A and B are shown apart, each in its own frame.
Chain A
């Protein structure tokens, strides 16, 4: 079983980050929240692997195993 990747994994991370912020530009708080939710669902579907998704949920909740 593979594990959730928690070390750096994005090429051009600054670029990505800027694009992420830019996607929210000009949106109201509400629209931004909705966009984030859609993004989350799109990415979750891409990952697909149920075990990884569970690991991602607890990683995001800052529930580390230490």
Chain B
């Protein structure tokens, strides 16, 4: 039998029998991705754009119902943009800047994020996860139509894996029964409860946070004038619980997120009448339809290692965080961004296997940063001791009167991209430049006339030169580096100088295919830059 574990919002890749199922010997694929969630599909987009044959196996036939993620951060959208599907997300998404914080009955303060100018993408958008996933799948189909060697098979469930030194053997269950294939590389994007992790017996450790959240997505009826703001209540007087979050999504849908404690009767709580009772107490006389609801608990955990030989883990399978701060899908997208080009170079024989270990180093760094941040938010929202409650309440009380206490209020620190400080791929910083573009950083965007800098970076190694000379391109041991020459002199926004030069007169940046800075110096120094390319590709320590 082949039953769905969840309901679909959109059926996108119905089961079709593949010739692999009738092959006399197992067919070998260069890359198999396990799981067609947001992270698995993004992996296929990254590899597909590089022309690497990639097969995605998903045990369902499309996008799951229910908006889990709603908040997608700038870096995640920039990665999606590199894959060619960021724009529809931005168009559909809701951009917000104002937030209000309440404690019990009182509004304690209001903030405006005052977005930084000069980026193609805002700090984040609110967008239902099913939309996010469908835009990725639209792009997937578009790339297929253009001849990219990517494929997805619905109702193809991986039931067993056998790992060898240079390949993996997979047993796949379908409505027509089992078949076997082989993969040179396997990427596990099979979600938080990752069957792959289980099959291979890898640990997943960390803190289970003992609390449950009741999520209700509701559609307001009639002309309600709820503003596009993020409202967060600590200990709301209406409706029990530690916190409530109200946030707008596209299509006039609102997300209400009640933190309802650990000992709850799920079935009882999920009855529509009970959800409505909470909502009514909270929203007063507003009329609404229920779109989706669910109860979830969460954990802050990660695997010890995201790479095990020919097997990689990415997204929720590798790490899980609390939802405060919107870090789940956002960090998964950074995993893919990081792994894609490295695997591409190793498969093409242009970089040693050791480059792949840096995926582990860099993304564990990212996961730890996320876990730290979301644990801190969790501790602020649900203090674990009487003193910690007192301190939290004092911060809230002070923030109503004084500005200084407002930054201490932690209702979730929104995901910002990870800088790979200390990565073995970085070369020592040789420029007296801005902190935010030091080696390891993701390049910040800058407007270039009608265009943006980031659309000119990525996919290959780029040598960004600002007001200094360099060859148009050079090759180092199979890696081609192309120059992008810019000048800060006639930049009306002055942002290129602000973000890339600082006090320096000129600069040369070596930028990786994932738009992270590998090295920077004041001017072109061939020996140093060749060494930097070797270091950034795992050929030199």
- A: which residues have CB within 8 A of B? 33-34, 37-38, 40-42, 45
Contacts and interface: CB of A to CB of B under 8 A. Distances in A.
A42 B395 CA distance: 10
B397 interface: yes
Interface residues of B, number: 11
B405 interface: yes
Contacts of A33: 390
B383 to A, nearest CB: 12
A40 B404 CA distance: 13
Contacts of A42: 398, 402, 404
Contact of B408 (A34, A37, A40, A41): A41
Interface of B: 390-391, 393-395, 397-398, 402, 404-405, 408
Nearest to B403: A45
Contacts of A34: 390, 393-394, 397
A45 B405 contact: yes
Is chain B's interface secondary structure helix, strand, loop, or mixed overall? helix
Is chain A's interface secondary structure helix, strand, loop, or mixed overall? helix
A37 B390 contact: yes
A52 B397 CA distance: 25
Contacts of B391: 37, 41
Contacts of A45: 404-405
B394 A37 contact: yes
B393 A41 contact: no
> In this complex, which of B391, B394, B395, B398 has the most chain A Cβ atoms within 10 angstroms of its Cβ?
B394
Contacts of A40: 394
Contacts of A37: 390-391, 393-394
Pick the 6 closest A-B CB pairs, nearest first.
A37-B394, A45-B404, A38-B394, A37-B390, A37-B391, A38-B398
18 contacts: A33-B390, A34-B390, A34-B393, A34-B394, A37-B390, A37-B394, A38-B394, A38-B398, A40-B394, A41-B391, A41-B395, A41-B398, A41-B405, A41-B408, A42-B402, A42-B404, A45-B404, A45-B405
> In this complex, which of A34, A38, A40 has the most chain B Cβ atoms within 10 angstroms of its Cβ?
A38
B507 to A, nearest CB: 31
B328 to A, nearest CB: 30
